[in-house]
């Protein structure tokens, strides 16, 4: 693994189903983030984690949950998917101890909820 990976690449999901989006980074970054990107809108933060064992809510957390059991992995779970959760989901990570705290993004997961 080089950088940050996400799985699956894309998914079509029936409404009401549970779904976990996976995110793994090998850069030993302490901070990780989940965003959704919708047409005409900026990236919106769903949840974040500043370090393993801690998580926080972003701008649009409702309907989503996350966990951070270790440094590398940061899964995002939709407990009961709804059509408004159709979006492209990006995971990102950063070294928040660095002066610039630049975020690096995974390739994204395109999710369609029917």
Partner 1 sequence: GQNIDQPTEMTATEGAIVQINCTYQTSGFNGLFWYQQHAGEAPTFLSYNVLDGLEEKGRFSSFLSRSKGYSYLLLKELQMKDSASYLCAIMDSNYQLIWGAGTKLIIKP
Q: Shortest approach of partner 1 to residue 108 CB, angstroms? A: 6
Using the rule CB under 8 A, give the single segment among 13-21, 42-50, 62-70, 74-82 that binds partner 1. 42-50
Min CB(15)–partner 1 separation in Å: 25
Nearer to partner 1, 8 or 16 (CB): 8
> Contact with partner 1 (CB under 8 A): which of 7, 13, 27, 43?
43
Which residues between 51 and 70 bind partner 1 (CB under 8 A)? 58
Nearer to partner 1, 58 or 75 (CB): 58
Query: Largest Cα–Cα distance in the chain?
Result: 43
Q: Applying CB under 8 A, does 34 fall inside the site for partner 1?
A: no
Binding flag, residue 97, partner 1 (CB under 8 A): no
d(CA 12, CA 93): 26
φ and ψ at residue 39, rounded to 5 degrees: -55, 130
Q: Which two tokens stand for residue 51?
A: 């370090």
Give the E-state strand segments of the chain in sequence order: 4-7, 10-13, 19-25, 31-37, 44-49, 56-57, 64-66, 76-78, 87-94, 104-105, 109-113
Closest CB to partner 1 among residues 1, 14: 1
């Amino acid at each position: 693994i080089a950088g940050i990976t996400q799985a699956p690449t894309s998914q079509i999901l029936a409404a009401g189903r549970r779904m976990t989006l996976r995110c793994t980074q090998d850069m030993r970054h302490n901070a990780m983030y989940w965003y959704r990107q919708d047409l005409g809108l900026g990236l919106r933060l769903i949840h974040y984690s500043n370090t393993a064992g801690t998580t926080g809510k972003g701008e649009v957390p409702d309907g989503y949950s996350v966990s951070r059991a270790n440094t590398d992995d940061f899964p995002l779970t939709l407990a009961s998917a709804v059509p408004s959760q159709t979006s492209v989901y990006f995971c990102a990570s950063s070294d928040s101890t660095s002066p610039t705290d630049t975020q690096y993004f995974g390739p994204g997961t395109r999710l369609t909820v029917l």
